[in-house]
Amino acid sequence: MNPDRAALLADHRLGVEEAQQYRAEGFLVRERAFDAAAISLLTAAVEAAAALALARTAGGDARSYVLDGKRFVDSGHVTVQFEPPPHDPAIKVIEPVCELHPALDALLDDPRLTAPIRDILGRDAIALWTNKLNLKRPGAGSGFGWHQDSPYWIHDCGHVDLLPNVMVVLDDASAANGCFKVIRGSHREGCLPGTDDGTQLGGFYTDPRRFDAARAVALEVPAGSLVFFDPHIVHGSGPNPSASPRRALIITYQPAGHPTLKSRRIRNIR
């Protein structure tokens, strides 16, 4: 590794207490890891990426489908999920998104994200697993029911315990605009069963009898903060009825040499 990059990584490694907290609670917050200027560049990049993704949903190769009343459009390996009516065509999620803008692709290698992830994984050679943009537009953004990410991935990945996430918070987040929430310590249960409510996606939402909702923590954090979280932690968030956006990127890493979730290309981290 070149000495400049090694020094940059060293600046962002996890402290002993941070590592203990991540292991015990399944999440860790670093407030204001990115300053206002950096966040303004990233928000411009995500808006450009969202405009591009939206344009592609009208392209010749786009394939549209509806699950539980929510519209999804696949274009190549990129999936755009729209908000349910009446807010469709506002975009809820784009996955993957970072390949749609060079500044977002560069973010994947940023030591503020990757140094803690290397410590969480206990290895220096890491790769991208997936990444997404959750837009939660003012007055239109719907919530995310309580779920774990690991059950989504278990059929595509043989090392689902080794898929740590980092959320890059792009707007000040509070309960009022639907901030991210986790169930403290729920990652220790591994993959939990889903609900059996007869809906198409119900199996992906965690059976509420299998975790303690009283252990929920609302992560009210300023723009520029990072939230690292375990692939097994139960998490979700409320809607955004407020006048403020609540945008966030979530990037998921894995050990080096394995393909990404959707394109199946290998994207090792520099």
Ligand X SMILES: O=C(O)CCC(=O)C(=O)O
Query: What are 235's strand-pairing partners?
Result: 147, 182
Residues 6 or more apart whose Cβ sits within 8 Å of residue 142: 83, 84, 87, 92, 136, 239
Q: Is 166 among the residues that bind ligand X (CB under 6 A)?
A: no
| Six-digit token string for 15 | 């402290």
CA dihedral 34, 36, 40, 46 (to 10 degrees): 30
What is the smallest separation between the CB atom of 33 and ligand X, expressed in angstroms? Answer: 17
Site for ligand X in 195-254 (CB under 6 A): 235-237, 248, 250
Question: Of 149 and 171, which has the nearer Cβ to ligand X?
Answer: 149
For residue 156, the number of C-alpha atoms closer than 13 Å in the C-beta half-sphere is 16
Binding mask 108-137 for ligand X (x = CB under 6 A): ------------------------x-x---
Q: Give me the residue whose beta carbon is nearest to ligand X.
A: 237
Cβ 60 to ligand X shortest distance, Å: 29
Amino acid at 43: T
Binding residue for ligand X (CB under 6 A) from 82, 144, 205, 211?
A: 144
Q: How far apart are CA 239 and CA 248, in angstroms?
A: 14
DSSP-assigned letter for residue 204:
G
User: Cβ closer to ligand X: 143 or 190?
Assistant: 143
Binding interface with ligand X (CB under 6 A): 132, 134, 144, 149, 180, 235-237, 248, 250
